[in-house]
Structure 1
Amino acid sequence: MRGLRGMNNIQKAKLLFDLFPEETIAFISFAAEVADKIKKERDTLRTAGGDSILFPAGFWVDLAEDLSKRIRSGDGKLQKSSTVFSEQLFDGDRAFLSKHCLLQYSSGDKLKNTAFRQGVELFFLLGRQPA
């Protein structure tokens, strides 16, 4: 197994799913809600200065549309396979929105599984710091 710093987003997401399959299923629903909210508020984002330092609002809307499509068209495979979950949601640019959703989900008050929260922090926050 690679060290944490040698893992990419897909590998980290796959491991997270393998360790916490129930929580990742709940996360998928949360990510769908976030994507739907972004799509619904697309005009507000574009006109109200929704451009972040890194990405314009249109980029986030495009990511939300893609993420939503992948979640809805997965035929339940996202919830059953760590490989499908990780490759569909954490590959390429989609990882920006998926990681954002994951960090929001894991820091929310509804999440009671502290081990999952710690796993997210370890894989997606601490794991990105340089040695």
Structure 2
Amino acid sequence: MKALNQLTNTDKGKLLHELFPDEIPALLDNIQDVCAHFKSNRETYAKTWDFGLMSFDMWLQLAEQAEAIINKHRSNMVRSSKVFSEQLFHSFDYTVLFVNDRIIKYAEGKSENSKFKLAVILLFTA
């Protein structure tokens, strides 16, 4: 196994799935729910958006890309850590920025699994 500082986003996603496969369906549901909420409240978010790295429209585009990937590959993502990681954490795709953010926020606010929360901190915030 690679050292933590040598793990790619794809490696981190695969490891998270392998350690916590029961958490993946709820995580994917949460990402889809957030994407739907963004789309249905686009104007409100656009007016109050203050993330300096990109506009809300750019963030929404990443959310829509993540949602499309999940819609297309959801059942395989739930079953396979390889599909989960390769589809959502591709190193050359900016969608990973949105997915990483959603994983962190899911762990902070939705997950009740304390070990999952610690793993997310270790893998995605360090």
Asked if these proteins are the same fold (TM beyond 0.5), I'd say yes
Which residues of 2 match residues 33-72 of structure 1 at below 5 A? 33-46=33-46, 48-72=47-71
- Deviation string, structure 1 residues 50-93 (Cα, Å, up to 9, x no partner): 25111111111101111111111215111111111111112221
Counterpart of 2:103 in structure 1 is 102
- SS in structure 2 opposite 1:118? helix
Q: Name 1:111's counterpart in structure 2.
A: 111
Identity of aligned residues (%): 32
Equivalent pair of 1:45/1:51 in contact (CA under 8 Å): no
1:73 is paired with a residue whose SS is helix
CA distance in 1, matches of 2:75, 2:20: 17
Q: Flag structure 2 segments of 5+ consecutive residues without an equivalent.
A: none
Q: Which runs of 4+ in 1 moved over 6 A?
A: none
* Distance in 1 between residues matched to 2:41 and 2:15, nearest whole Å: 33
Cα 1:38–1:107 shift into 2, 3 Å: same
Q: TM-score w.r.t. structure 2 length?
A: 0.91
Alpha-carbon RMSD: 1.3
| Greater helix share, structure number | 2
- Partner of 1:74, secondary structure, is helix
Q: CA deviation at 1:25?
A: 1.9
Shift of 1:20: 0.4
